[in-house]
Chain A
Amino acid sequence: MNENEKYLLKINNLKTYFYTLDGIVRAVDGVSLTLKPGKTMGLVGESGCGKSVTAHSILRLLPLKTSQIKEGEILFRRRNDKEVIDLVKINPQGKLIRSIRGKEIAIIFQEPMTSLSPVYTVGNQIIEAILLHRQIEPQEAREHAIQMLKSVGLGMAESMIDEYPHRLSGGQRQRVMIAMALSCNPSLLIADEPTTALDVTIQAQIIELLKSLQKQFQMAVLMITHNLGVIAEIADEIAVMYLGRIVESGSLKQVFENPLHPYTIGLLKSVPIIGNQTKKRLAPIPGSVPDPLSVIEGCAFRLRCPVYKQKECAGQEGAAMVEVEPEHYVRCLLYDRDEGVRGNEN
């Protein structure tokens, strides 16, 4: 990897734990990610693997009482002075993180129906964000909000700005959320399953919209989803996450054409292909996600892995990330050359 290449966001060995009455949940257990400016990273994984917790950790939006970032760093390059700060070290309620939220890193959520407060108009909620981060007059902010609503494809922006969210459809609300997120021109947009709650035609529209806005606003996007179709549409790079760890990462082409980790292979196999009229059943991944409270030694996927080798995979540490081809990493003993245990040797 070219060390000189500038990153926008770099997560190193992030560990975010939740402290529940039943014990510690290691929601994120050693995630490393690198986002380049202007690029889209797709973070894929099934429910409960820690995708959203990773996103919330970046913006420090996690509940203060029950969660803690145990380890790791989240390095973020600020916009103008190019200074790099570690988001893990700053006060989650302080001034610094508040000047980053909404202004440099914005987020949109899965549920557009509940993402907006029902008692304030759309305009109120967007203008509030604009006025917070920009020194402009309320009238100007209103103009800008209308402009933003138009740029997310809401034609009746002038009247819609005074509407309450319950009068809008799910797709319209998600567009409003995107308009609000982009209103201060962030350098990173985190999209936390933005299309999951929408129906398929609207999903496609929202993805198209995000793609065109990304070009227009020159921002990086961290697209969190369990939908591989969405990833294929929009991502430049992919990181596959399983039980709090990245198990494989690389460019879209590398991961889709040459998946290495048994989990990635399983994920890709379990996608239905429209028009495929064969009577073949989908190949699901056997088993289910282990209990979040349990601590699995070694490779977390070994319990469901089709090529599982008892002794090696159950080792204390598990595999390290290995670069199999340039910029294509995998965390699996099958490819761990340093250890000298290739899967086919035994």
Chain B
Amino acid sequence: MNTPNDPDRDPLGLDAFDAVEAPDQWDEILSRAASPTSNVVPLQRSATPWILAAAAAALVVVAVAALAVRGGGGELPAPATVPGGTLAAPDTVSGADPDDTVPTTDVVSTTLPATGVATTAPPTTAVPSSTVASTSVPTTEPQSTASVAFDAWTPVCADVSGAGAVPASALDPLAALGDAPTLDIGLPTFDGFNGSEAPIVDVAEVPGGVLVVARADLPQEPFGGVAALAVVDLDGSIRWRRCLATDGVFGYRALVADRAAETAWIQVVAPPGPAELIGFDLATGAALDPIDVGSRAFGRVQGEWVVATADGTQSTIEDPDRLLLIRALPDRLSVQELPYPAATVGRPVSSTYIDIDVDADIDGGGVMISAVDFDDARSIAAVWSEETGWTTDPEDIRRLSPTLRLPVGAEGLEFLDATGEPIWTVPDFRAPSREGFVSLVTDDVVVAIECASWTEENGCAWLDDVTPPTERTVAFDRMTGEELWSVDTSRPVIELAAGRALMLDDTDDDGTLDIWRVVDLRTAEPVDGTPTWPSLGSFANECCGAGDYVWTRVDGNVFVESLGDRLRIWLAPESSRPTATVDLMG
């Protein structure tokens, strides 16, 4: 079917494959389908990378999980990469099963650091174990081992040990930002698949500073990846730095307890080996023994929580399989072993997505876990909480965070609970078809961009060759859907704390969004006495592939601005200090 490809678009000349004759496999396919167990694929895969990639994609998927409950868009395939996979009977469980939970185990590591965490890592502490617990967290000085992996960074990464002192800091909530960033941190580069590249980074607030995790995928063997961890104190000094190498995959999102954290935990997955969590003493940088969580994959980190699930090296979820609900406490991990919900047992591992909701409506706080069925229109198969265990009761499912459904075109706007039922709707809302900022959901307000020039005939088309469609920004009350305010242009919004946000504004009504202001999200009115910043070069959240490198994020009381080659750390005005410029490898 291919015509010769345009060499500009197909420089490798892949149309050469048009002449390759494919075998006729229909009879073999029928035979395999009829005898699934007799024709097991001899591919003993380690599907961890696939699960990790799926988990990354699922960060988006889970946000719209509730949408498809109503029969909308759940048509994406869920590939089981090994044979088998029969549908289990519908889950009819309601209420807590006494066997649903297993007592929580506190886990701390016992010994020894390891610079250059690798497949040669020392024996690990495996969880779950009903008796794993020790009383202290011994630390030792990190040992630097010269390795080509550390040379992979530019500048070269060298370990720095902390002196054991943690500067005192009590940061104010981010109801606004200071005039200037408190830290301007230069990031290293590495020689990657695409020449000199910037690392993927994450930042977490820790007592007295910020933890920066930088991760790089290297093209050469045997070091498939390197990571650098550093705590940067708010005065710009490097408290400690660790240089790590592995042939596996580093989870670059650190698991850190609340502001009193003493240890930061980093996820390490080295397929086909076990997944691990390695703790780093936030005062010294000393590494603790890796904690082996078995052949599992990590879900997305949600604050101090993460869930570890079956990693796909098995085809289906079996009854003995267990999830691990992991929480970082200041000085140790809490690991809770949970069964899978009945509805998922016997189903392909890839058909179920497990996620944590830290904002669920739980009396007295806590988290909910949701099991999303990818094969059944991404419906919620069951939810778990400490109080209920696994349940399919709709009233419990509705405790999960609601979802904004904002399909492109004329379908309107819907704010849905997790069963897929509307909480409120705006039927005549017309969402634009483009990339970039389109919506924000906070605890109190929903902001969405509408296509103002939408017509039945042309949709949200450009008005002519050079004139894009017009847009407006509308804010709704989260509880009721009442329209709070609107403006006749598209205004990207970034949430801060205390009901405030950064919003782009047009200072002289010339159509140019040239300034960022702090506004009250319920009124869009600027907050008196707060600084403004030029739009050019400030607070960008890139889309379309660049979003890995250029983004903003709030963690605790720090506002992180990633610019690709550097990080800027902003604090509340009362906590801000004159900008300290520092090199992460300096």
Q: Do A and B bind each other?
A: no
Interface residues of A (CB under 8 A from B): none
